[in-house]
Structure 1
Amino acid sequence: MAKNKALVVGATGIIGSYILEHLSSLEQWDAIGVARTVPQKQADRYISLNLLNREELREALGKIKGITHIFYAAYQDFPAHSKEQIDVNTSMLANIVQSVEETSGALERVILMQGAKVYGVHLGKFKTPAKENDPRHLPPNFYYNQEDFLRIYQAGKSWSWTILRPDVVAGVSIGNPMSIAMVIAVYASISKELGLPLRFPGKEGAYRALAQFTDASLLARASAWAAVQEHTAFEIFNITNGDLFRWESLWPKVAKYFDMDAAPIQTISLSELMPLQKETWMSMIKKYDLLPTPYEKVAAWPFGDFIFGCEYDVISDTTKAKQFGFHEVVDSEVGLIAVLDELRKQKLIP
């Protein structure tokens, strides 16, 4: 039986790293990670590519024969709604798809990652539960440009695409701060080091609203599933853990995990205050023999401010994925604690 050959683009990010790891564990897959900076650990799994350089892409990919699948989870950060955010992120996707198509001759499926921002979660209260066929919000939104590229460019060709929409991905990603688990873990660890109780740093409404996670391991398994099913071609799926929670219930359990007292809400700007804790964190690296990750890369504080500032329910309907055959669920509380355990195991937090 011929193996599928996957190119995982954005392979050092929280989504791509889990997809690469999962595919590499499966006999029916050969997987290659694409990143600008190749990690020293297991460097043979990766290639370094500039997704904005078409000539470089064609030359490098021309040496890799038979790519059947592209898992696309790359992103470059720019100011929201900016022309740069749209142009760069759309161009990166277009360049890799076109280059693989030109050099592989075996492309079967492109799996594109989006997120709940496709529904306008970043703009304010929106219709919930969000369904895959909900109408778009008023643009701009770079997800729309990427999706439109796939729809238009693929027309009449032999390969297909599938789009997955996770939300608030929880996992371990060294040097990539876009993980709510890292935001929580570093904030809690520093608070404890300073002798403080664990206060929810967000807004009152967010503390009581319904929220959701997507476990990174579950998303990797969903990606492998969606990539090979004939009936998932040209379909879009919300992928979350399948349950909901409120921070008012989860936060005291986080405090207990760190052996801290839980205290009343104190709404602060993590973006403003947490960068000022760099010296404390650097001293903790030495004190607890932690992995010396640059403080600027341990947690995305603006991301934390956004998640803890959503004073409205954030719910994605996952019925469609179940109807199409993906039935896995994860208890979000159990999943978060498992990620925190892994952060400790890898010496990323005390």
Structure 2
Amino acid sequence: MPTAIVTSATGITGSAVVQHLLKDSSYTTIYTLSRSQPGIQDARVKHACLDLQASAEEMAKTLSGISADFIYFCAYLANPDEDEAAQINVKQLKRLILTCGFKHYGVHLGLPKQPLLETNPRLEGNIGNTSWPANFYYTQKRILETASAQGNWEWICTLPNDVIGYAKHNFTNEATALALYCTVSKTLPGSRLIYPGNHIIYLVQNCWTSADLHARFCLWAATAPGAGNNIFNVTNGDVYSFRELWPRLAERFGCQILENTFHPTTVQEFRSQSTIIELKTKNPVVVHAESMGLADTDISTRQPVLDLPIDPQKWARRDDVREAWRKLQVKYDLDQDFWDKATWEFLTFVLGREWGCVASMNKARGLGWTGYGDTWESFERTFEMLEREGVIPPMAQPKKDL
């Protein structure tokens, strides 16, 4: 009868993993670890307050007596401690599943080679005539490789992208920021849903990962034959562009889509809210430029930028926007924390970049993974949850004057 440990069990990915573990009656005990709230209540769930930035000695004391067959490491921690990894390494451990993300491919630095493949070289040291910045995902993976070899257990690293889901008191969420942007846009004059980003990212294809699907993948990977000691892309399996998603968002939230979103007059209207941010490295695709026959093109010389006609961070500070939110918050008794702590800076990156992120799922498919999720349906389910939890107003109600 297996047991499990889930770190960051109150986060979007961690809570989804716990919910799916509870659906499997074979799991006798599920240890949930997080810094504060206990999260899901169930007889099989045992919670321990654990701060992964505490000292190794403090964590060892908290984890005393806790052991499991499988560990699902869903925490976002930039500086994991090797001593801490050793303390949770117990004899009966079979596999540890570490959740990372597409930063593994350098998508936060610029245009990567597409589709993203797990065999792509790491961007570290000096490669492609570029000195690449440190990447904590690589550090985590090296720790896993060393510890697993010593402890005779296996590791798995999952790479989801722009995870779609909801968890109480978790504010790092693209879907939440989009929902807040759409909700307030509906109440502003004309109910115009103006696309904040540039026309390139509006047109290119991207992929997303449902938190629910990622959780199902983690449970599959924990026992799948041949999956151990591997990195896996984990996406919904479809591709969307914002040119498809934006009209759906407008319809869903009762807004008006602009017919001339990128016309100079539209851009000029919001000139004071625009942002252009030059990133510090070359596009990661430069590593592959010669092998693709593109060494003499601007793909290897052009500096990546974030280009936004409307920067969401500036938009959220506008007086009319803040007043519109204040009226909504009072009228519907909405959770103010989600506005105050919304990750507008992440939305600035998602909508400001000039490159898509599409990953291949062939590696997991080859080992028997058959999971699939529709990205728009994933967004829709999250929006419905945000309504039920009082983060945004119920959209089923007709628009009323505030």
TM-score scaled by structure 2?
A: 0.78
Structure 2 distance, partners of 1:282, 1:49, is: 35
Summarize the Cα distance change of 1:291–1:132 in structure 2 as closer, same or farther, 3 Å threshold.
same
The answer to whether the 8 A contact 1:38-1:47 is kept is: no
Offset at 1:219?
Answer: 0.2
Partner-residue secondary structure (3-state), 1:112: strand
Q: CA RMSD in A?
A: 1.9
Summarize the Cα distance change of 1:257–1:321 in structure 2 as closer, same or farther, 3 Å threshold.
same
Partner-residue secondary structure (3-state), 2:316: helix
Do residues 144 (structure 1) and 146 (structure 2) align? Answer: no
Do residues 46 (structure 1) and 47 (structure 2) align? Answer: yes
Equivalent in the alignment of 2:30: 31
Equivalent in the alignment of 1:82: none
Structure 2 distance, partners of 1:145, 1:166, is: 18
Do residues 259 (structure 1) and 254 (structure 2) align? Answer: yes
The answer to whether the 8 A contact 1:20-1:32 is kept is: no
Structure having the higher Rg: 2
Offset at 1:97?
Answer: 2.6
Offset at 1:206?
Answer: 0.7
More displaced, 304-313 or 45-54? Answer: 45-54
The answer to whether the 8 A contact 2:12-2:167 is kept is: yes
Structure 2 distance, partners of 1:40, 1:147, is: 28
Offset at 1:117?
Answer: 1.0
Offset at 1:21?
Answer: 1.6
Partner-residue secondary structure (3-state), 1:178: coil
The answer to whether the 8 A contact 1:34-1:46 is kept is: yes
Structure 2 distance, partners of 1:239, 1:169, is: 10
Structure 1 distance, partners of 2:234, 2:9, is: 19
Aligned residues with identical type, % of pairs: 31
From 148, 172, 181, the counterpart of 1:178:
172
More displaced, 268-277 or 190-199? Answer: 268-277
Equivalent in the alignment of 2:70: 69
Structure 2 distance, partners of 1:35, 1:321, is: 29
Do residues 318 (structure 1) and 318 (structure 2) align? Answer: no
Do residues 111 (structure 1) and 97 (structure 2) align? Answer: yes
The answer to whether the 8 A contact 1:100-1:107 is kept is: no
Structure 1 distance, partners of 2:161, 2:85, is: 24
**Structure 1 residue ranges without an equivalent (≥5):** 77-84
Equivalent in the alignment of 2:331: 287
Query: What residue identity is the alignment partner of 2:163?
Result: V
- Larger helix proportion, structure 1 or 2? 1
Partner-residue secondary structure (3-state), 2:352: coil
Offset at 1:63?
Answer: 2.9
Summarize the Cα distance change of 1:192–1:23 in structure 2 as closer, same or farther, 3 Å threshold.
same
Query: What residue identity is the alignment partner of 2:156?
Result: T
TM-score scaled by structure 1?
A: 0.89
> Which residues of 2 match residues 126-137 of structure 1 at below 5 A?
126-137=112-123
Query: What residue identity is the alignment partner of 2:168?
Result: I
Offset at 1:344?
Answer: 1.3
Structure 2 distance, partners of 1:335, 1:347, is: 19
**Structure 2 residue ranges without an equivalent (≥5):** 124-131, 268-308, 394-402
Summarize the Cα distance change of 1:16–1:40 in structure 2 as closer, same or farther, 3 Å threshold.
closer
Structure 2 distance, partners of 1:105, 1:152, is: 15
Offset at 1:278?
Answer: 4.5
The answer to whether the 8 A contact 2:49-2:62 is kept is: no
Partner-residue secondary structure (3-state), 1:111: strand
Number of aligned residue pairs: give it.
Answer: 331
Give CA-to-partner distance per residue, 1:295-332, whole Å, 9 cap, x none.
Answer: 333x2111111111221221111111111111111111
Offset at 1:46?
Answer: 2.6
Structure 2 distance, partners of 1:245, 1:332, is: 8
The answer to whether the 8 A contact 1:250-1:333 is kept is: yes
Offset at 1:227?
Answer: 1.0
Structure 1 distance, partners of 2:65, 2:317, is: 43
Equivalent in the alignment of 1:165: 159
Partner-residue secondary structure (3-state), 2:310: coil
From 229, 251, 259, the counterpart of 1:234:
229
From 60, 67, 70, the counterpart of 2:62:
60
Structure 1 distance, partners of 2:345, 2:224, is: 37
